[in-house]
Amino acid sequence: MKGAHLAIVGCGDLGQRVAARLADASWRISGLRRDPAALPPGIDGGAVDYGEPASLGVLAALAPDYLLLTLKPPGRDAEAYRAGFQEATAAVLQGLGSHRPRGILMVSSTRVYAEDAGNWVDEHSPLNRDDPAAKAIIRAECQLLEEAGVPVCVVRSAGLYGSDSPYLLRRVAAGEFSPATPLRYTNRIHRDDLAGLLVHLLHQGEAGEAWPPVMNAVDDAPVSRQAVEQWLARALAPAAASSGAADSRASSASESTGESAPEAVMAAKGKRIRNRVLHACGYPLRYPDFRSGYRVALAPGNRAG
């Protein structure tokens, strides 16, 4: 039996990972991007450009059952974020015309949170309305949640890893480390887990299960950048760990990320993001912490040159 029809707007690496997982379920996948010729077999390509809102009118003709937005700004400045998120989302809603899908998933970013002193945040924590880039993402989220008229789940993703270009691995292997202080807490999720989570939500939608309006897509172990670098240094070459800028006190303190653990005595930056909503939806993380994910990257035959 033919599955549902999913249209992926901005169908890059993540969208293609989602499509590959839905192939076995016989879903029909439409991948919309500037260069659809780059899409693999099994995805029906369509040329769209965020900067040309009229091009998204194809959505009304496609009439997908579900819509997945994997938007990306065309640059790093505030205007690029407005175009890539806020204006693109408005163009998507306009392009749907009178058609209303069964549900819309949007991949957003944990950048929207205001916290920057190492404290814990969840989906209800204050948002960063001072950063122009974060503000553009927040406005895009609000447009969908308030104007789509269908079930929407905004999936706020932490930093992705697990690609074929492990920048952090190469930097640590070269002996480049972050300063020991302040501790900089980071959050991440493996690319395969983010794709798996999105597929899980789509299957839930098909089963008639309700989506939460907002969900943090992060693993179970927010940890300082210094601790990640030191662990990778030891895994790559035990002698390299002692050459890093982060001393043993910074490393041991930054490993204490549990809510019941004592706070590090030194200053901290960044945020630690809870993922209780993710767990409540029933998705089992394949890589619950950075160690499990990076062990795969460090396995013989998997290291990039």
Distance CA(111)–CA(78), nearest Å, equals: 14
Residue type (1 letter), 10: G
pLDDT at 303: 57
What are 281's two structure tokens?
A: 């939806």
Could you tell me the two tokens for 276? 């209780």
3-class SS at 38? helix
Residue spans of the domains in the chain: they are 5-114+122-164+188-220+273-287
pLDDT band at residue 127 using 50, 70 and 90 as cut-offs = very high
Find the distance separating the first CA and the last CA of the chain, reported in whole Å.
44
Least confident piece of the model among 110-119, 148-157, 251-260: 251-260
Q: What is the dihedral of CA 132, 134, 136, 137, to 10 degrees?
A: 170
Band (252; pLDDT cuts 50, 70, 90): very low
Using alpha carbons only, what angle is made at residue 73 by residues 52 and 103, rounded to the nearest 5 degrees?
A: 75
d(CA 100, CA 173) in angstroms, rounded, equals 50
Please state, in angstroms and rounded to a whole number, the distance separating the CA atoms of residues 1 and 54: 34
Architecture of domain 5-114+122-164+188-220+273-287: 3-Layer(aba) Sandwich (3.40)
- Local confidence band at 219 (pLDDT 50, 70, 90 cut-offs): very high
Please compute the mean of the pLDDT values over residues 54-65 and round it to a whole number.
Answer: 96
Region 246-271: what's the mean pLDDT?
Answer: 52
Q: How confident is the model at residue 168 (pLDDT cuts 50, 70, 90)?
A: confident
Q: How much is the pTM? A: 0.90
What is the spatial distance between Cα 137 and Cα 86, in angstroms, rounded to a whole number? 6
Rounded to whole angstroms, the Cα distance separating 179 from 165 reads 23
Average pLDDT, stretch 222-226? Answer: 96
> What pLDDT was estimated at residue 240?
47
Q: Inform me whether the pLDDT recorded for 278 exceeds 70.
A: yes
pLDDT score at 173: 87
Question: 94 pLDDT band (50/70/90 cuts)?
Answer: very high
33-43: per-residue pLDDT in tens?
Answer: 999 999 999 99
User: Which has the minimum average pLDDT: 1-10, 26-35, 111-120, 240-249?
Assistant: 240-249
Q: Mean pLDDT throughout 150-174? A: 89
* pLDDT at res. 24: 80
> At residue 84, does pLDDT exceed 60?
yes
Angle subtended at Cα 109 by Cα 280 and Cα 87, rounded to the nearest 5 degrees? 125
Token pair for 147? 């104007």
The yes-or-no verdict on residue 116 having pLDDT over 70 is yes
Mean pLDDT of all residues belonging to the chain: 89
Over range 179-198, report the average pLDDT.
96
CB atoms within 10 A of CB 165: 7
CA atoms within 13 A on the CB side of 272: 19
pLDDT of residue 266: 62
